[in-house]
A and B are shown apart, each in its own frame.
Chain A
């Protein structure tokens, strides 16, 4: 019952509702519901309308008065509006929007506004606006190709707040040494939680914000990495639900790029225990490109990691999901593109046993994706160097499939691959072809032996059962 709440929304919607059983109307119903906006779940009923005192524009007051007015405006912008109530407080919503716009311009253009007392006010304004409990997710199974994301209703204000904050962080006068008092671990933690937002626009802003913070606050780096680890581990092993995985991986991609050599044990652990298990998640397609990028970054840094990475991929190789299998094959090719020949030799046997299975997959896209490896010159050169090992592994699958595969395109590809092998090492090829039949027979014999074994075992168990039971057996 950990997070049974997450399951709850699904329970509520998948209950045998009369409407939903009907398979025909489903899509149209879904379409109608799309483009729904959501708001944060912090609004309790608001009774009276909000009144803000209109302040003069910053550019209309003298330079001495500006800092104080700036602070006042920051305080005013802490007021929140309920955007689900589309008709309430229209005037004040517009006023806050224009104030925010003004603030954005002010931090971009002005000089010398950033005094020590501005920092807490800026952080407070940003925190007030962006930190909120995200509402329950409407779609239990988010399908990026079918579903439109649910958008944040208060985006007109939120967008400006994010923009203001990014400008603030990027401003030349910004001093991390002062800001670190206010932008602390708690702030970062709340920021990371927001990555679960369903609105891609918000996640994009968050990505920039977090990247800047990681860049400027050296003291927070280890903490940020650790918290991202926790989010990923929770995502993989507990909830399987987090919207911002792709964005976090993008940030990590650039972080990994900057790791110093030799890699610390902590970073290696992150690769093996966090990044590799991310491959097991059902929604892999949503962040696979970013994940593969991170993995390849690691391997470019330290080629000796190739073996554990490939072993990990083979361990998590999809058993039933062909779509994921194609993704794995794609990632593997990216890895092979940068692999060092010495590393390749270490892993080639295991690797090609899997590739042989993929080549003979009845799903033509899987087979096709695996066979495309033979169009890659670098991989071909690696295969050629080690043909005496790889050819015997691949031969049986290729030979069988060349006659059996239902898809003519696959048969043609296989034919080319066999031809390539024949040119590579014709003596070995001929030998394998000659032995093919006897090898199959040997395999069949082995299978039969195994069956016999199980039968024997069953008998053994039966006999033992007889010995153990106390009953009298009528004969």
Chain B
């Protein structure tokens, strides 16, 4: 395909290669990132004979450039002519694997591992394995470190003589005299053990493991712990006691806290690897020691594992072990001196209740929960509250309400506003666990009280909280319980409270739906447009802009527009500004809707439709991502906003339409360019021809559709609330020019 290119297309390639030698690092970097293009243009032959030698020679560069190069080369197999030529990539990667900078080296090893799979068994022995050997016997520690990561990928596919050599090299590296190399070997020991035959695991790996686990440097010993866990999973049960347990037991009592920490951190994996018998005899006492360790770091790591450890205990003796051995330690940890230990425990302790059952929970655990709920550190209390659901299932709601609710209320009224903020964030979760009735009875008043908190951040969070509650409990519940209260605040003498009503309406209109919004909320908003405080009035304008998309167009034209026009002639400057903004800015919301719909389409049928770049207003998209994640949290997760290329001032006025939004990556990119200045009420006053064209497109709307990757069409109806004239241009990249609106004609 590349050979077919004409000369003029090779010209930029020549310059690009020239750029690889440019003085400016950034330019070299740009060029290296386009390496695949260069290779594609050169063709496989010239890539092999010219480009790769050139790259191998110029490897003395900035680490940043080398990193990009190492990454690129991992994907180069097709560009050098497929698997049969993949070994051409080895020389440059070998040099990169000896570089000092760790990230570069790691990337080179990653790429080498990747292309090792593309080697045929013969090539693996002829080209790849010698490379590993060269690296393993390199002078400087960097090459030996890199070699450690390459043994396991080539071992399974080479002959038995070569296998023996590989094992020998690995053995040598495990006793290297630089700790860096021993660390690298220790961290790859488990991985290497997995590809070895069992007999060699027993004969070779065990002795290496024992040696590394008693290394003089604790940084090596701690890595051996992880390897020990992997090795334990490979060995038959009867060999475990003799081969790995002595070493692991020793690690659990190592004099360095780092090693003990590692044991605590890997405890659940270890438990699964060694099976129930050893767990009962060995791990239980070891775990007790870790929970009582003298270093808080170790205790915290062990406390984190309490629930998992208990869950995985053998069922026949689970309860007795917990009650007699684990629980006493846990009780001590509840009053630990270190808050990280306490909060680690608090995040898992609730899980014990499902394991221990109702009676034990009430008798033994509940006092601990209560003690932690009264802990001086709010993080501990919050961790308890955020895990209430486990207990809820076991001891029921009444038990909870008597003991836990006072703590919730106390947190809700905490003097520190950040604590209040944190508990608000748990409210939707609590509401879900406790159910609507209980919520109405006990917590609803709290939620409403937050709306009039004297800290703005709390009021703001409270509005957001209401929105999430409505999502949980439904619009009907909202109409009966919270909407009347919210709207009641519109008559409050304090203007801050009146404004809170508006903020609530902004948040609630969408989840409540068109009917409630039009019937109940809109009249209140209209009424407030006559408020004597200017701040309230301009917030009315802002609110109208926000809730616009929920309303139908008739209502917008006949009711909303007049109010906004009135506000636009207000005597206050700010009110005027925001009213005008609302009139011209209604469009913004539409954009975010479009995006949502696209994103939804994408996920429900990913093959069918994809888009990765939208050019829309910055503000609405940011709003979409930041304040309306509830619409499609998972969908918005893929959306990131790049800063628009315009000044802040312009952005505020809505002039910008150049923010790039990346949504859902795929092989096809679709770029939308919208006119942010068009409005919901029609086109801005432009020339007649443009309006004519708009009408034309409006008529064409029903029949218009987007192409899919397979060349079929999907209907544009999914996003019908965006008027077509507002989409300035739609381009599908990687396909020839696509002109759905016949803009060119």
**A contacts, CB < 8 Å to B:** 1-5, 8-9, 12-13, 15, 17-19, 21-22, 41-45, 133, 135-136, 186, 189, 230, 233-234, 237-238, 273, 277, 315, 353, 450, 453-454, 456-457, 460-462, 464-469, 471-475
Number of A-B pairs, beta carbon distance below 8 Å: 133
Determine whether B101 belongs to the interface, using a CB cutoff of 8 Å to chain A: yes
Task: Tell me the chain B residues, 286-315 only, with Cβ under 8 Å from chain A.
Answer: 292, 294-297, 300-301
B contact residues vs A (CB 8 Å cutoff): 1, 9, 12, 15-16, 19, 23, 27, 30, 34, 37, 40-41, 62, 100-102, 140-141, 178-180, 183, 187, 216, 218-219, 222-223, 226, 255-258, 261-262, 265, 292, 294-297, 300-301, 340, 343-344, 377-379, 382, 416, 418-419, 422, 667, 707, 709-711, 713, 733-739
Contact yes or no, A469 B734, CB < 8 A: yes
| Interface pair B710/A471, CB less than 8 Å apart | yes
Are B297 and A8 closer than 8 Å at their CB atoms?
yes
Q: Find out whether the CB atom of B180 lies under 8 angstroms from the CB atom of A469.
A: no
A454 to B31, CA, bound (A): 9
Q: Which residue of B lies closest to A463 (CB)?
A: B9
Is the pair A315, B12 in contact by a Cβ cutoff of 8 Å? no
What secondary structure prevails in chain B residues at the interface with A? helix
Q: In the assembly, what is the distance between CA of A277 and CA of B62, in Å?
A: 13
Task: Find out whether the CB atom of A18 lies under 8 angstroms from the CB atom of B416.
Answer: yes
Shortest CB-to-CB span from A271 to chain B, Å, is: 14
> Taking the nearest CB of chain B, how far is it from the CB of A32, in angstroms?
14
Q: How far is the CB of B462 from chain A (nearest CB, A)?
A: 17
CA distance A17 to B378 in the complex (A): 8
23 A-B residue pairings within 8 Å (CB atoms): A4-B265, A5-B222, A5-B261, A9-B297, A12-B340, A15-B343, A17-B379, A18-B416, A45-B292, A133-B257, A136-B295, A234-B180, A237-B101, A237-B102, A315-B62, A456-B12, A460-B41, A462-B733, A469-B667, A469-B734, A475-B736, A475-B738, A475-B739
Q: Indicate whether A133 sits within 8 Å of B261 (C-beta atoms), given known contacts A44-B294, A189-B216.
A: no
Distance of A233 Cα from B34 Cα, bound (Å): 33
Q: How far is the CA of A42 from the CA of B292 in the complex (A)?
A: 13
Whether A18 and B62, one on each chain, are in contact in the complex, defined by CB atoms closer than 8 angstroms, is no
| Complexed CA–CA distance, A135 and B180 (Å) | 22
- In contact, A2 and B219 (Cβ under 8 angstroms): yes
- Quick one: closest A residue to B220, CB to CB? A2
Check B707 against A474 for contact (C-beta < 8 Å): yes
Determine if A133 and B256 form an interchain contact, defined as CB atoms under 8 angstroms apart.
Answer: yes
A4 vs B258: C-alpha distance when bound (angstroms) = 9
Residues of A within 8 A of B9 (CB): 460
* Complex contact B297–A12 (CB within 8 A): yes
A43 — nearest CB in chain B belongs to which residue?
A: B294
State the CA gap A56–B607 with chains docked (Å): 90
Beyond the given pairs A133-B257, A469-B667, A474-B738, 11 more chain A to chain B contacts, judged by CB atoms under 8 angstroms and listed by A's residue number, are A2-B223, A19-B379, A230-B179, A233-B141, A233-B180, A237-B102, A464-B40, A469-B734, A471-B711, A474-B711, A475-B737
Q: Give the residue name and chain of the B residue nearest to A457 (CB).
A: B12
B178 touches A41 (CB 8 A): no
Whether the pair B219, A450 counts as a contact (CB closer than 8 A) is no
CA distance A45 to B256 in the complex (A): 16
Selected contact of A230 from candidates B180, B187, B739, CB within 8 Å:
B180
Within the assembled complex, what's the spacing in Å between the Cα atoms of A475 and B295?
70
Q: How far is the CA of A472 from the CA of B735 in the complex (A)?
A: 9
Measured between alpha carbons, how far is A466 from B262 in the docked complex, in Å? 52
Residues in B with CB closer than 8 Å to A273 are 100, 140
On chain B, the residues within 8 Å of A465 by CB distance are 733-734
- Say yes or no: B257 contacts A453, CB within 8 Å: no
Q: A457-B37, A466-B734, A472-B711 are in contact. Are A41 and B1 (CB under 8 A)?
A: no
Residue contact B297 to A467, C-beta cutoff 8 Å? no
Contact yes or no, A2 B294, CB < 8 A:
no
CB distance from A375 to the nearest CB of B (A): 29
> Chain A residue with minimal CB distance to B223?
A2
Complex contact B34–A457 (CB within 8 A): yes
**Is there contact, CB below 8 Å, between A18 and B418?**
yes
- The answer to whether A466 and B37 touch (CB under 8 A), given A18-B418, A453-B12, is no
How far, in angstroms, from A463 to B9 measured CA to CA in the complex? Answer: 11
Contact partner of B183 among A2, A133, A189, CB < 8 A? A2
What is the bound-complex CA distance between A474 and B141, given in angstroms?
Answer: 58
Closest partner residue, chain B, to A350 (CB atom): B23
| Complex Cα spacing A461 to B292, Å | 62
What 8 A-B pairs come out closest when comparing CB atoms?
A472-B711, A465-B734, A5-B258, A12-B340, A473-B735, A18-B378, A41-B257, A473-B736
**Contacts of A189 on B, CB cut-off 8 Å?**
216
